[in-house]
Amino acid sequence: MSETVNTIVNMEGICKSFLSVQALDHVDFSLVKGEIHALVGENGAGKSTLIKVLTGVVQPDAGSIRINGQKEVIRSTQHAQALGISTVYQEVNLCPHLSVAENILIGREPHKFGFIDRNAMNAAAREILDGLGVDMDVTLPLGTCSVALQQMAAIARALEIANAKVLVLDEPTSSLDANETAQLFTVMRRLKGEGVSIIFITHFLNQIYEVANRITVLRNGTLVGTYDVKSLSRLELITKMIGRSLVEYDEMVNIKKESRKFIKDEAWLKAEQLSRAESSGWQVCWVQGAPRLPNSSLESIIPPAERCASMTPKLKISHR
């Protein structure tokens, strides 16, 4: 993936597996200065793993990361923050019983004569929130504020803790109503105008087209592509996410619904008190029309199936 003078993050050939599961397979991703970049895909597409690699939560098996053109091995979340990368997760991970100001500046509170200078702390928190265009009482316990305001406090903390130039927002609107979402988007646009780059993870496609500049689509741990929002229709985006056209998808759903009409409400297989020793003399015969037995401990007890000629959709168990 080529870099430009405005590229702040460039990830190339990122691979990551967990045991036998290939979560990421040679994925490329780039982020330029002052853009809102949507990262989308179905559940299990690899979005969270890619972000964990970028923020130092996990280490990639292969690939490289460049921050501002400099190759980096991001070893931890603290290292990522030192590089100016900060994350606000879906669930606000702050302290509800502490004040808004304490949450924003926790660990970095101003001191005077060996004690926390609360007046200075409150003033600093107000200044940070004013920079986001957010008006809230910083002396209130965070838990008494709305979810939207808690989200703003989390963003303020993320920006303050790392002097962030890259802000990752993981499903930030999942608990917000329309007005609160609009307020968040106002803050995102303000940050974008100040040169902060935002990675926006969401399942709400209409929100992508409202606020994002570019879209990167992942599917099954691989990169489908990166597109300008203006050049990609919603229908095309959905097709790229699911790997098939909506017409094909609807046909699959209809076939599934139609097949249910022929499936009786009786068990395909009923067995009690089986063990490996007891099952050694038994043979399972699948007949045409029966569904595949799910991968389970039962499959390891019963020997491999053989097809029978009968068309009756039932399961036959016979002794050898």
41-81: pLDDT as tens digits: 999 899 999 999 999 999 999 999 999 999 999 999 999 99
Q: Report pLDDT digits (tens) over 140-168.
A: 999 999 888 898 999 999 888 777 899 99
pLDDT at 253: 64
With a cut of 70, say whether residue 120 has pLDDT above it.
yes
Distance from C-alpha of 197 to C-alpha of 185, rounded to nearest angstrom: 14
Q: Report pLDDT digits (tens) over 234-261.
A: 989 999 998 876 566 566 666 666 666 6
**pTM score, whole prediction:** 0.73
Q: How many CA atoms lie within 13 A of 76 on its CB side?
A: 3
- Residue 207's nearest CA partner among 184, 240, 235 is 184
Looking at mean pLDDT, say which of 84-98, 178-192, 276-290 comes out highest. Answer: 178-192
With a cut of 90, say whether residue 214 has pLDDT above it.
yes
- Residue 163's nearest CA partner among 201, 202, 194 is 194
pLDDT at 263: 62
pLDDT at 108: 85
How many beta carbons lie within 10 A of that of residue 116, not counting itself?
A: 13
Q: Report pLDDT digits (tens) over 100-119.
A: 999 999 888 899 888 999 99
With a cut of 70, say whether residue 127 has pLDDT above it.
yes
pLDDT at 90: 76
Average predicted confidence (pLDDT) for the chain: 82
Confidence of residue 279 (pLDDT cuts 50, 70, 90): very low
Confidence of residue 268 (pLDDT cuts 50, 70, 90): low
pLDDT at 244: 73
10 Å CB burial of residue 10 (0-12, 13-18, 19+) is buried
Tokens 């985006």 belong to residue:
237
283, 305 in Cβ contact below 8 A?
A: no
